[in-house]
A and B are shown apart, each in its own frame.
Chain A
């Protein structure tokens, strides 16, 4: 609906929609606080910029950019509230979770670009150092510092908190880590604030303020103006150091990469999947983070020709579902189009159409009733004959499951015990026993393949 509306009136609806979304967000009481802080931030930034031009200090400018970054982070926070209320639209089928990531990425990159500007400006200032007026320098510093700290500590900024936790440690944090560890040795109470690692934003705010205080002191005492440029460079570098890991982390999410910390788990799951009965190969696995945290993925699973697709699909999905919430599994078989050497009229029937790509499968009646509980594809204690890839004339067994509905509670009741211990062979025996047709077919097969000049290879 929304898109059609947009399409009809493209001019008015952009701002209209923006206003509408804004109203939606503003309806939430939590966002009022953010809006209030945003308003304070704007005035504060305005004052700071004025003081920057009056003091002519580039270090204060660099520090003001941190305040502007705070504004961005507030906006990100607002966006994350908005995301919680939005449902996926047909166009943005994955939902808007990634907007949060994009907002984090954009604000960290913008902060770094601002730092780059500061570096450029200070390179020019090194050539010709202008005079710095210290009048408002200290005032500005403390206004900015108190405001930044106040914002950081009073607003729970979910996306930034997540990123600063998940991203790798910045060099600034590394350097402070030793210091804070020894400090916590003296005063153990501080360990909740300092110890795993300090909040990077608080850290950079404090460090920047410290640099500015030093600047103020040196200029007051010695009229040593170059220290202003130097501390501007220091603040810019610290900004880089703080923002870089976060932008790398969020950038990697945007690049649809597999997060490194889940690779171990994923590997384990994929190994489990590939040991399922009937699975020959797992390939084209793409796993990536959708927003912060939730994993999406798609995988192709190649199965034996005689394996039950739906069962394998269910088991693969079940395994991966614990980790990957948005999952698509494509099951494919090699040579499925080839005629099946099934006994009886089916084979002959299929053979007629073997060159055609649409094979009308004869509606087979279900040979046995397959109980979903007992259809566990576990490895039997005596393994069934293995089949090689692309074996011609392999047995396609179109298993037609019973179509009658089973009372749900039954499936649930049965489901617990056998499925949770799927790979134990002992429990799987009834599953095999329930499909006698399969067993006989399997046991007959190897002799047939022996004549087919291709002995079954062991499964990978």
Chain B
């Protein structure tokens, strides 16, 4: 039977691939009937599998399911002998496909065990097109069954499924047909699940009395749920439109689900069922509540509605009819289509951007590491119900916000200049460095306050939990310090060996280490490292100091019982953080206040002296030079020249001199006496004229030959 379908589908693209939308419905009837029948059978299979899952572990169940499917599909499709050979790259993709498929079926069947088959069917058996349009409208789950978690799980799995199908469409073309892909994927997932199943069956004792009695239900489930459904779906989607297929497919499955929900545990069906009555204790489990019926009806209706407008939305003929805009559904559909394509792409592209540059890549990796540590900590804290761990996790999360800001700043600083940000976004890094500095100051302040409060009244501490956490935090932060100072070394060549040696010595030379960190930060303060990275680095450093402080105080408390050590340590750390932040804040402030860049001060002074010696130059005024960002030093200057020199030559000479001094974004205004005359003619305000007159008089004074400056 399956072979026949397969053949049909293979012939399908040739005959019906270019088929128009309005195929005579008479020809479609048999497909619709076929679809309905299959969906009905699928419902049967799912109810069956629900019963099966009561006795068989879910992993084993999926394994057997995948095994059976793979067996039949390999038999029918012969993926190894037919078709073109599969490359290594494609195998990797198939592997990914299989992993995703396994996860989805795991979620699906787990949801099935939690929610029951009826609700599973209602929730999960939507075709992709319905879900996509459903998500475009605000999705509100009306299925409120007994197991909220199960519903959420199913919705999650559903969303996964839709994404998965969309993603696998391309792969299936690469591999050579969806069926071949399915066959291979099932095979791979069998191999994947195999070790798990073995471990499971060795470790846990099975509830199944006889596997032989389960062969028959398993076969039905395999055939109904996996194979038949897959083939009929694929054939119908080729023969009919996708939306039509979705509409017809959802009717029978929901209705049959309702019917089975009512009659599955009924005595009549009991006799018809292939399965023995192992799990027939509670007859209320499949009971139909009014809400479920109503929601089922709504599901059917919504499937019907949603599958039809999505079709219309894709046509797009309505655009342009109405003068005031397109109808709402059309726009919604377009917007959703757009965003559904662009969100993964957006993530992908921003990741690519992050990984492109050294700074942002390091921040990103460290952020990932930090996040991982945080979540492990939080998870473990919740698991063991340890409040200290959870609060430390929150603290780490709080610290991560600084990293996130640094990452964003590093990303944004590479954006192109716009109308509003006319110099480019490079200055964001400085602002972010400044904010990070403020952040650290706030942290230092709070630690200081806390430690003062504890110094007055030292509390009893429970230290046994602190050490592993702080050692873990220390290791994470040390990695961060190494990474960031490594990046720093590339530009400045500071010492690196000390960092590596300190990696192993977190238990011994703690004070020495903290001193090292402090010294290092001061070293970086002098250089021209970008403010953002400095801020992030100092942040990591502060965290490291915090973990060191915790370890030291723990040791002191455990060894000597000095409870005062803890506030003393934190006091010390707070002061250290504060002192190390001051240079960063000072530098950032200077840049933000448009100070003359200190590192260029001498050159600029010399350059201005040189400018004065240019032939024909009378004087200059308003010399403004400031650092805009790490790479841009901007400058503007007004220059007065005698009337007989060529302005462009002056511009060229001055530009040359100032470029040599390090200013790379220059604007030079060359003024002659004529300019002031023009201006005095143009300006209407009396004060301006007065100022101009003064300028002119001074120029005249210079022109007499008495150069003052």
Contacts and interface: CB of A to CB of B under 8 A. Distances in A.
Interface stretch (A157-165, A230-238, A309-317): A309-317
Interface stretch (B62-70, B438-446, B470-478, B490-498): B438-446
A166 B679 CA distance: 33
Given A93-B594, A372-B681, A411-B681, A256 B636 contact: no
A147 interface: no
B596 A93 contact: yes
A117 B402 CA distance: 13
B644 interface: yes
A110 B435 CA distance: 9
B368 interface: no
Interface stretch (B197-205, B250-258, B277-285, B386-394): B386-394
A411 B651 CA distance: 29
B422 interface: yes
A168 to B, nearest CB: 14
Nearest to A117: B446
Contacts of A329: 667, 669
A333 B395 contact: no
Contacts of A333: 648
Of A102, A251, A313, most buried by chain B (CB within 10 Å of CB) is A313
Interface stretch (B97-105, B129-137, B328-336, B619-627): B619-627
A104 B285 CA distance: 64
B594 A92 contact: yes
Given A110-B438, A116-B398, A415 B683 contact: yes
Interface in A378-416: 398, 400-401, 403, 405-406, 408, 411-412, 414-416
Contact of B674 (A110, A300, A372): A372
A52 to B, nearest CB: 11
Contacts of B668: 328, 330
Interface in B656-709: 666-675, 677-684, 689, 693, 696, 700, 703
Interface string B458-488: 0000000000000000000000000000000
A441 B100 CA distance: 79
Contacts of A256: 422-423, 427, 628
Interface of B: 387, 390-391, 394-395, 397-398, 401, 419-423, 427-428, 431, 434-435, 438-439, 442, 446, 453, 589, 592-596, 601, 622-626, 628, 634, 636-638, 643-649, 651-652, 666-675, 677-684, 689, 693, 696, 700, 703
A379 B674 CA distance: 20
Given A124-B390, A333-B648, A400-B644, A414 B592 contact: no
A299 to B, nearest CB: 7
B667 A318 contact: no
B648 A287 contact: no
Interface residues on A, range: 35 or more
A315 B681 CA distance: 10
A310 B677 CA distance: 10
B442 A254 contact: no
A284 B667 contact: yes
A429 interface: no
A240 interface: no
Name the 3 nearest CB pairs between A and B, nearest first. Answer: A314-B678, A298-B667, A328-B636
* Chain A interface mostly: mixed
Interface in A407-460: 408, 411-412, 414-416, 419-420
A117 B678 contact: no
Contacts, number: 198
Nearest to B385: A127
B670 to A, nearest CB: 7
B543 to A, nearest CB: 14
Nearest to B596: A91
Contacts of B700: 405
B680 A415 contact: yes
A23 interface: no
Contacts of A2: none
Of A90, A106, A321, most buried by chain B (CB within 10 Å of CB) is A106
A316 to B, nearest CB: 10
A150 interface: no
A106 B593 CA distance: 13
Contacts of A99: 593
Contacts of B643: 400-401, 403
Interface string A278-311: 0000001111100000000011100000001111
A411 B693 CA distance: 11
A114 interface: yes
Contacts of B422: 256-258, 285-288
Contact of B646 (A120, A128, A359, A415): A359
Nearest to A403: B643
A414 B674 contact: no
Contacts of A398: 646
Contacts of B644: 361, 363, 400
Nearest to A91: B596
B380 to A, nearest CB: 14
Interface string A119-160: 010011001100000000000000000000000000000000
Of A326, A357, A363, A411, most buried by chain B (CB within 10 Å of CB) is A411
Contact of B593 (A92, A116, A315): A92
A310 B667 contact: no
Contacts of A331: 647, 651, 669-670
B563 to A, nearest CB: 19
A113 B652 contact: no
A54 interface: no
